[in-house]
Homo-oligomer: A and B are copies of this chain.
Amino acid sequence: METGNLNKHISGQFNVELENVRSQVLAMGGLVEQQLENALLASNTGDKDLAREVIENDRKVNELEVNIDQECVRIIAKRQPTAGDLRLMMAIIKTITDLERIGDMAEHAAQTVLHADRSLPDVVQVNLEALGEQIIRMLRDVLDAFARMDADAAYRVHSRSKKVDSLHEGLVRQLLTYMMGDSRSIPFMLEVQLASRSLGRVGDHCKNIAEYIIYFVKGTDVRHTSPEEIKRLLKQD
């Protein structure tokens, strides 16, 4: 397992600060995961109170983003990190942007529940749940990879984003069939399609976070790099 150079510097206090900010990112990740789970549960059960709770809690996600950014700026100014420590700061600054967006996606899904005036056809529901399970698992696994700064685990999450895309595409085709068969269903199905698209985007954000983990551990920016090249990079040592 490749975990970069965590816990290796001389200043004990610096270590404490880095650990602190890492814990904050994990706390933010945990909250976002909870938000996403609740949004999906609200969507499955039509629970509007739960949907309202998700919308309300998005504020907390936003606050965490702002606080963590502030803490990173403070650490960079005070500790003047270089090499791995600076890469960790960069990985954190980028990761929380993606976590905040995942929070927005959960909020969007919750908004859809709130506006829904009918329930989903069973077959659509089943597919939406499958998509939801897939992205929850991706988010959980990428947060786990972040906690351990495990580049190989990050790569495994990275390579799963195609599956999310194809689940989303299948769902869109299904919604299309309903829309074409019954024009009255169109406004609602359009909302569902947009919510499904938001959920699909969660996969992209998890993929981004996986790339930042690999960047921290390996020191190479793998954004816009093919999966094959990333695989080669990880096998090098």
Contact = CB atoms under 8 A, between A and B. Distances in A.
Interface in A53-102: 59, 62-63, 65-66, 69-70, 73, 76-77, 80-83, 86-87, 90, 93-94, 97
Summarize A's interface: helix, strand, loop or mixed: helix
A221 interface: yes
Interface stretch (A42-50, A178-186, A228-236): A178-186
A176 interface: yes
A197 interface: yes
B62 A224 contact: yes
Interface residues of A, number: 35
Contact of A94 (B66, B97, B184, B197): B97
**Number of copies of chain A assembled together:** 2
A134 interface: no
A96 to B, nearest CB: 11
Nearest to A225: B66
A179 B183 CA distance: 8
A114 B92 CA distance: 37
Q: Which of A63, A223, A224 has the most CB of B within 10 A?
A: A224
A161 to B, nearest CB: 15
Contact of A66 (B176, B190, B223): B223
B176 A221 contact: no
Contacts of A187: 176
Nearest to A82: B77
Contacts of A83: 77
A194 interface: yes
